[in-house]
Amino acid sequence: MTRFTVNNQPVEYRMDPRTPLLWALRDASNLTGTKYGCGTGDCGACTVDVDGTARLACQETIGALEGTFVTTIEGLSRDRGHPVQQALIAANVPQCGFCIPGIVMAASVLLRTNRNPSEGDIKEAIPNICRCGIYPRLVGAIEQAARIARGDEALDAIEAAQPPQTPA
């Protein structure tokens, strides 16, 4: 049995300790926001926060995470109110959305450790692959997220971030 905390909830996985975190999250915890992209650690779609570090869930075994704190996209913000989510939505960055959870998680870790990242810092911290080619808007959106997180800029993207309401 492997025990650690996922999204501020203690969990105990009764799985082989060699099981990749990605599959424990998706299959045992039903946290499907963490995406399976390549399985080799190259694409970043499965990025999660482990004790304040961006880590690839496809490359981490649950046995190696005993006692750690893991945050997935579901645990970051249920209402899409995190500054990174707000800025990406405001800049119309998401396209198909498959890579976005991993990018958001990598960016949230970056902004927690670097409140004023340069373009180079952002590109280094977010090596995620996006098939849709969001890169031109991504850096600017993360710079804006940093300004929001620092309180230098207000963004009323909470309303824009809410799912559209369907007429009754």
**What's the pTM value of the predicted model, to 2 decimals?**
0.90
Task: Name residue 135's amino acid.
Answer: Y
Lowest mean pLDDT among 43-52, 93-102, 153-162: 153-162
Domain boundaries, the chain: 2-76, 83-161
Alpha-carbon Rg of the chain, whole angstroms? 16
Q: Looking at domain 2-76, which CATH architecture does it have?
A: Roll (3.10)
What does 42-86 look like in DSSP terms, one character per residue?
Answer: SS-TTEEEETTEEEETTT-BGGGGTT-EEE-HHHH-TTS-SHHHH
What digits encode the pLDDT tens for the residues 101-119? 999 999 999 999 999 999 9
Fold of 83-161: DNA polymerase; domain 1 (1.10.150)
CB 34 within 8 A of CB 72: yes
Backbone angles phi, psi at 69, to 5 degrees: -115, 120
